[in-house]
């Protein structure tokens, strides 16, 4: 497991952004490594809850989950209450049994669009997996195999349209680049405010064992 303890420590010191919760977004193109990074960061945070946006999207609509996320997750968290949301089952093509999400001090939300305009006011930090779209999509297609090539055709078109209208990367506080071993974090102070900033700090996160 990668040692993300320093990043985890910094996230714990941030001001709450959604009621008592520090909501941390991990965004990036499909196939960029968001889920793996979020899982490792959650472990470094002592088992922080992770909301996967794949549970919010559906076959019929990849990116129109904002209202459902707001009502089922954000509003309860703002009140300091346990959120309950119905995850989408991509095999059954229907919503499953409601799942709880506790208002822990740090909650991670990962998936394409986690840093979108509608969510940014409630984020304490926006992390962007900094792998170009073409490389990310190639990785995703390779991972899922030819049986899902039709799905990927539709997804990539929808994702490109989404980020064209509502880009996340320009607003990211931290760019996360996967290295052959570990990660490189590139801090971008003030980027979340919408201003242009060059990278001012680089931190290499290498395995602890």
Query: Residue 134 CB: number of other CB atoms within 10 A?
Result: 11
Query: Could you give the CA distance from residue 50 to residue 70 in angstroms, rounded to a whole number?
Result: 16
Cα separation of 201 and 112, whole Å?
A: 25
Q: Compare 77 and 204 and report the one with higher pLDDT.
A: 77
> Percent of the chain having pLDDT more than 70?
89
Cα–Cα nearest to 86, from 109, 60, 68: 68
Q: Does the pLDDT at position 200 exceed 80?
A: no
For 15, 39, 43, the CA distances from 107, given in Å and listed in that order, are: 13, 12, 12
Rounded average pLDDT over 187-195: 54
CA dist 168 and 147 (Å) reads 30
Tens-digit pLDDT profile for residues 5-48 = 999 999 999 999 999 999 999 999 999 999 999 999 999 999 99
Judge residue 16's burial from the number of C-beta atoms within 10 Å of its C-beta, 0-12 exposed, 13-18 middle, 19 or more buried.
Answer: middle
């Amino acid at each position: 497991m990668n040692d993300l303890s320093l990043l985890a420590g910094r996230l714990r010191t941030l001001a709450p952004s959604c009621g008592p919760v520090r909501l941390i977004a991990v965004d990036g193109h499909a196939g960029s490594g968001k889920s793996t990074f979020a899982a490792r960061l959650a472990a470094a945070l002592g088992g922080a809850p992770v909301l996967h946006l794949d549970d919010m999207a559906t076959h019929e609509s990849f990116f129109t989950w904002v209202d459902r996320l707001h009502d089922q997750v954000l509003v309860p968290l703002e009140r300091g209450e346990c959120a309950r949301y119905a995850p989408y089952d991509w095999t059954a093509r229907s919503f499953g049994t409601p799942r709880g999400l506790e208002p822990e001090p740090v909650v991670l939300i990962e998936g394409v669009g986690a840093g979108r305009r509608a969510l940014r006011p409630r984020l304490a930090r926006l992390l962007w997996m900094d792998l170009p779209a073409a490389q990310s999509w190639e990785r995703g297609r390779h991972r899922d195999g030819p049986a899902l090539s039709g799905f990927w055709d539709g997804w990539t078109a929808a994702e490109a349209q989404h980020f064209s209208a509502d880009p996340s990367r320009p607003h990211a506080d931290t760019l996360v680049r996967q290295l052959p071993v570990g990660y490189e974090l590139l801090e971008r102070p003030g980027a979340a405010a919408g201003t242009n900033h060059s990278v001012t700090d680089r931190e290499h996160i290498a395995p602890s064992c």
